[in-house]
C-alpha cells in the first residue's frame, strides 16, 4: 500500500462525497428539524461504505466491474430492466448536478443560468476528453476539498456540540404533528437515497478496474471506503448542523442550493462565501462527471463494449459516444427550464426506487465464493449488507407515498 496514493485516494473520496442532493437535503433537514436528522447521514454513510467496499472488492478480485457481472447474475431480462432504471436515475441525477453547477456559476458571475449550463457541459466534456481517469477523479475530488470550508465555518460559529452529538442517536423528535412526522419520514428516505445513490458504486467499481486494482489493493479499498466516505459525511453533517444553528431559529428555508454557502459567509464574510461556492462548484461538477461516466460504464459493460477513460477516447469509441450523448441529454433536460430543486427531488426519488436492484446483485456477487474465493463477504459484511438491503427496500416502498403525502417534503 503506497501511503501517498492512499492519502490522495482518501482526500479524493472526501472531496467527492457531497453532491447537489446531499447539499440541498442537509441544509433543509437542519433548518426544518434541527440536529434530529444527523443520525440518518451517519447511518446511510455506513451503508454506502459497506456497499462501496463490496464493489471495490469485486473489482479487485473478480477483475470485473459490477454491471458486467450483474447481467450474468440477474439474466438478460432483469439485467436490462436494471440497466434501464439505472440510466433514467443517473440521467436525472446528472441533469440535477449540471443544473446545480450552472446555478453556482450564476451566483459567482451573475451570468445567465442557461448559458452557464451550456458552458458547464462543454467544459465537463472537454475535461473528460482531455484528462485520463486518474486525473479526472483527482482534479475534481481534490478541488472539492474547498468544501472543508463548511466544517471550519461550523467550528467558527461555536455550535452546541452536545446537541450535535445527541443528533447521532437514532431518534424521532417528540411532539411532531402527523404532517411533520410524514415530512420527517420523507427527509429520512431522501437522505438515505442521496447518500447511497446507485451511481456511486458503479463509478467506484469501474474506477477500480480503470486503476487496475488487484488483491493487493484490498486494504486500500477498505481504508479508502471507510475514511474517505466517513470523513466526507462529516462535511454533509457540518452543513446540516450550521443550518440548524443559523437558519432554523430564523425560519429560513434554504430552498436554493446556494443558500448553504451563506453558512460560511456568516462567520468569514466574502471570502467564506467564495470558498464555500468554490467547494460546492467542484464537488457538484465532480458528481456530474461521476453520474455521466457511471451511466456510460453501465451501458458499455452491459453490452460488452470496450470502455474506460484509462483508454484514449478513440480506443473505446462507443463508450466515448455514449458519455458525450448522456451529457448532451442531461443538458437537454436542464434547458427545458425545469427547476434544479425539482430535478434534485426526482433524482432522489427515482434513485431510491432503483437502489434495491443495484445492491441486491452486488450483495449476491460479493458473497459468491466461485467468483470471490476467500475474499467473499465475511459474517459482519454479510449481516450489514442484508440489514441495509432490508432498510433500502423499506425506504423504496415508503418513498412514493411519502413524496405525495408531503408534497416533496414541503408539508
Partner 1 sequence: MSPDGPIKLVSELLDLPLIDSDGKYCGIVDDVELAGSPGKELKLKALLVGPGAYAGRFPMWAMPLVRWIAGDRVTRVPVASIRNIGAAVELDGPGSKLGLLKSEATARQWIPKKGAL
Name the residues that contact partner 1, by CB under 8 A. Answer: 62-64, 68-69, 71-72, 75-77, 79-80, 129-132, 135, 300-307, 312-314, 316-318, 320-321, 371
**Burial tier of 72 (Cβ tally within 10 Å: 0-12, 13-18, 19+):** middle
**Smaller CB distance to partner 1: residue 78 or 156?**
78
d(CA 352, CA 402): 12
CB of 236 to partner 1, least distance (A): 32
- Find out whether 311 and 300 touch, Cβ atoms under 8 Å: no
| Least CB distance to partner 1 at residue 235 (A) | 30
- Angle among Cα 178, 346, 399 to the nearest 5 degrees reads 40
Of 28 and 57, which CB lies nearer to partner 1 in the complex structure? Answer: 57
Q: How far apart are the first and last CA of the chain?
A: 50
The residue among 179 and 369 lying less far from partner 1, judged by its C-beta, is: 369
Q: Which residue number, 113 or 305, has a Cβ lying nearer to partner 1?
A: 305
| Spatial CB neighbours of 329, under 8 Å, sequence gap ≥ 6 | 91, 95
Q: Please state the closest distance from residue 315 (CB atom) to partner 1, in A.
A: 8
Q: How far apart are CA 90 and CA 322, in angstroms?
A: 13
Choose between 62 and 296: whose C-beta lies nearer to partner 1.
Answer: 62
CA pair distance 224, 392, nearest whole angstrom: 23
* Distance of closest approach, residue 180 Cβ to partner 1, in angstroms: 45
Q: How far is the CB of 308 from partner 1 (least distance, A)?
A: 9
Helices and strands, number each (H, E), in the chain: 18, 0
Other CB atoms within 10 A of residue 160 CB: 12
Q: Taking a C-beta distance cutoff of 8 angstroms, is the pair 282, 143 a contact?
A: yes
Residue 28 vs 309, nearer CB to partner 1: 309
Q: In terms of CB distance, is 174 or 216 closer to partner 1?
A: 216
Q: Shortest Cβ distance from residue 90 to partner 1 (Å)?
A: 16
Which residue intervals of 19-112 are DSSP H helices? 20-33, 38-62, 66-74, 76-109
Least gap, CB of 245 to partner 1 (angstroms)? 45
Nearer Cβ to partner 1 (62/231): 62
Least distance in angstroms from the C-beta of 237 to partner 1:
37
Kindly list the distances between the CA atom of residue 264 and the CA atoms of 167, 188, 278, in Å, as whole numbers in the listed order: 21, 25, 12
Integer Cα distance of 85 and 48 in angstroms: 19
Return d(Cα 361, Cα 55) in angstroms, integer: 10
Amino acid at each position: 500500500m503506497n501511503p501517498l496514493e492512499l492519502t490522495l485516494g482518501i482526500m479524493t473520496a472526501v472531496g467527492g462525497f457531497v453532491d447537489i442532493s446531499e447539499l440541498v437535503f442537509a441544509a433543509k433537514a437542519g433548518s426544518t428539524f434541527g440536529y434530529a436528522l444527523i443520525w440518518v447521514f451517519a447511518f446511510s454513510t455506513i451503508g454506502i461504505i459497506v456497499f462501496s467496499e463490496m464493489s471495490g472488492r469485486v473489482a479487485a478480485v473478480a477483475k470485473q466491474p459490477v454491471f458486467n457481472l450483474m447481467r450474468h447474475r440477474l439474466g438478460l431480462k432483469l439485467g436490462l430492466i436494471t440497466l434501464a432504471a439505472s440510466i433514467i436515475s443517473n440521467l436525472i441525477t446528472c441533469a440535477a448536478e449540471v443544473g446545480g453547477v450552472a446555478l453556482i456559476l450564476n451566483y459567482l458571475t451573475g451570468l445567465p443560468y442557461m448559458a452557464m449550463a451550456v458552458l458547464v457541459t462543454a467544459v465537463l466534456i472537454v475535461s473528460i476528453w482531455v484528462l485520463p481517469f486518474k486525473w479526472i477523479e483527482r482534479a475534481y475530488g481534490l478541488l472539492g476539498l474547498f468544501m472543508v470550508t463548511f466544517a471550519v465555518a461550523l467550528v467558527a460559529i461555536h455550535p452546541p456540540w452536545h446537541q450535535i452529538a445527541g443528533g447521532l442517536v437514532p431518534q424521532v423528535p417528540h411532539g411532531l404533528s402527523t404532517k411533520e412526522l410524514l415530512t420527517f419520514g420523507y427527509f429520512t428516505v431522501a437522505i438515505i437515497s442521496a447518500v447511497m445513490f446507485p451511481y456511486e458504486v458503479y463509478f467506484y467499481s469501474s474506477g477500480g478496474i480503470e486503476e487496475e486494482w488487484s488483491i493487493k489493493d484490498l486494504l486500500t479499498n477498505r481504508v479508502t471506503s471507510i475514511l474517505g466516505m466517513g470523513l466526507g459525511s462529516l462535511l454533509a453533517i457540518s452543513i446540516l448542523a450550521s443550518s440548524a444553528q443559523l437558519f432554523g431559529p430564523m425560519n429560513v428555508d434554504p430552498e436554493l442550493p446556494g443558500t448553504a454557502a451563506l453558512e460560511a459567509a456568516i462567520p468569514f464574510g466574502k471570502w467564506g462565501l467564495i470558498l464555500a461556492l468554490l467547494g460546492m462548484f467542484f464537488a457538484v461538477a465532480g458528481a456530474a462527471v461521476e453520474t455521466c461516466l457511471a451511466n456510460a460504464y453501465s451501458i458499455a459493460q452491459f453490452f460488452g463494449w470496450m470502455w474506460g477513460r484509462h483508454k484514449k477516447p478513440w480506443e473505446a469509441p462507443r463508450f466515448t459516444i455514449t458519455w458525450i450523448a448522456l451529457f448532451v441529454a442531461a443538458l437537454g433536460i436542464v434547458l427545458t427550464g425545469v427547476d434544479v430543486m425539482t430535478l434534485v427531488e426526482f433524482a432522489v426519488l427515482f434513485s431510491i426506487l432503483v437502489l434495491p436492484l443495484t445492491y441486491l446483485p452486488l450483495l449476491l456477487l460479493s458473497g459468491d465464493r466461485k467468483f470471490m474465493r476467500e475474499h467473499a463477504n465475511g459474517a459482519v459484511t454479510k449481516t450489514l449488507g442484508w440489514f441495509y438491503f432490508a432498510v433500502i427496500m423499506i425506504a423504496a416502498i415508503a418513498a412514493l407515498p411519502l413524496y405525495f403525502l408531503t408534497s416533496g417534503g414541503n408539508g
